[in-house]
């Protein structure tokens, strides 16, 4: 399963769909793989809820599921929050070890600009 995630073509498909919604043909023309292979990747990404399919007339467009972007944001947000909390703990301990001020750490999430 994790092997499937590290598939570079699938990552590239996600990158292309971040730029704009695309058909299987659009994607195949920009990738060194066949249309059936693109369809297979899209099927997996769609099953995982990362990609949505939309029909416009006779054409089928695939696009990134906006919910997956929100989830990505939440996860990267928490990654940096954890990283900064770890830094504050490290910095305060280093300072404390050198006989300087020592205090509690606290993190806070600042308001996001819009």
Q: Write the burial class of residue 26 (CB in 10 Å: 0-12 exposed, 13-18 middle, 19+ buried).
A: middle
The C-alpha atoms of residue 99 and residue 4 are separated, in whole angstroms, by 50
Mask 24-63, x = binds another protein (CB under 8 A)? --------------------x--xxxx-------------
Contacting another protein (CB under 8 A), which of 9, 14, 35, 37?
14
Write down the least CB distance from residue 56 to another protein, Å: 23
Tell me which DSSP letter residue 1 carries: -
Does residue 20 interact with another protein by CB under 8 A? no
Cα dihedral 29, 35, 39, 42 in deg (nearest 10): -20
Which backbone phi and psi does 7 adopt, to 5 degrees? -60, 115
Does residue 73 interact with another protein by CB under 8 A? yes
Residue closer to another protein (CB basis): 53 or 83: 83
Three-state DSSP at 102 gives coil
Three-state DSSP at 51 gives strand
Write down the least CB distance from residue 58 to another protein, Å: 27
Binding site for another protein (CB under 8 A): 1-2, 4-6, 11, 14-15, 18, 44, 47-50, 69, 71-73, 75-92, 94-95, 100-103, 105-110, 112-114
């Amino acid at each position: 399963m994790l092997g499937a995630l590290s598939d570079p073509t699938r990552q590239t498909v996600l990158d292309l769909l971040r730029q704009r919604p695309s058909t299987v043909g659009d994607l195949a023309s920009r990738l060194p793989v066949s249309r059936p292979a693109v369809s297979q990747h899209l099927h997996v990404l769609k099953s995982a809820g990362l990609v949505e399919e939309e029909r416009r007339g006779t054409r089928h467009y695939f696009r990134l599921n906006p919910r997956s972007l929100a989830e990505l944001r939440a996860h990267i947000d928490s990654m940096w929050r954890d990283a900064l909390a770890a830094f504050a703990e490290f910095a305060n301990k280093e300072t404390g070890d050198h006989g300087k001020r020592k205090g509690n750490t606290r993190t806070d999430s600042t308001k996001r600009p819009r």
